[in-house]
Amino acid sequence: AFIRRITITQPQQFMGHISQMIAALTHHCSSARLSSISASIPKVVILTGDDDHLVLPQHSLELKQAMLEAELIQWKDTGHGINSQRPQEFHQLLQKTFREGQERSRPRSY
């Protein structure tokens, strides 16, 4: 599926690269807002690789400190391209996360 997507997806234009870089450099979300997000979404996973040089794993730890309900997962020998470096594990984690989120959002009968 990844190879097919690459073959049919047009390359990102130069301004797209610049816009993403500016967004990443200027984006900020307060600890209070992160806490609110974590508390209001049925399942949040913070996934990082231990060898990510684009978003340092320390930043994921900082997210986790503000998002108490979130699950922090750090994969060994993995960089920033988690979904392409470990596609099967990534797919399994997505399925697990979706399943747990659905279970938590169902009304409980007492």
Domains, the chain:
2-105 (3.40.50.1820)
Gap between the Cα atoms of 81 and 9, Å rounded: 17
20 with 49: CB under 8 angstroms? no
- Res 21: pLDDT: 87
61 with 72: CB under 8 angstroms? yes
pLDDT, tens only, 28-79: 899 999 999 999 999 999 999 999 998 899 999 999 999 999 999 999 999 9
Q: Is the pLDDT of residue 6 over 90?
A: no
List the beta bridge partners of residue 72.
Answer: 46
Q: Which residues contact 31 (CB under 8 A, 6 or more apart)?
A: 65, 66
The whole model's pTM is what? 0.77
- Res 27: pLDDT: 87
Alpha helices in 1-110 (DSSP H): 2-8, 14-26, 31-40, 57-66, 82-85, 87-105
Mean pLDDT over all residues of the chain? 92
Please name the helix (run of DSSP H) or strand (run of DSSP E) that holds residue 47, with its range, or none: strand 45-49
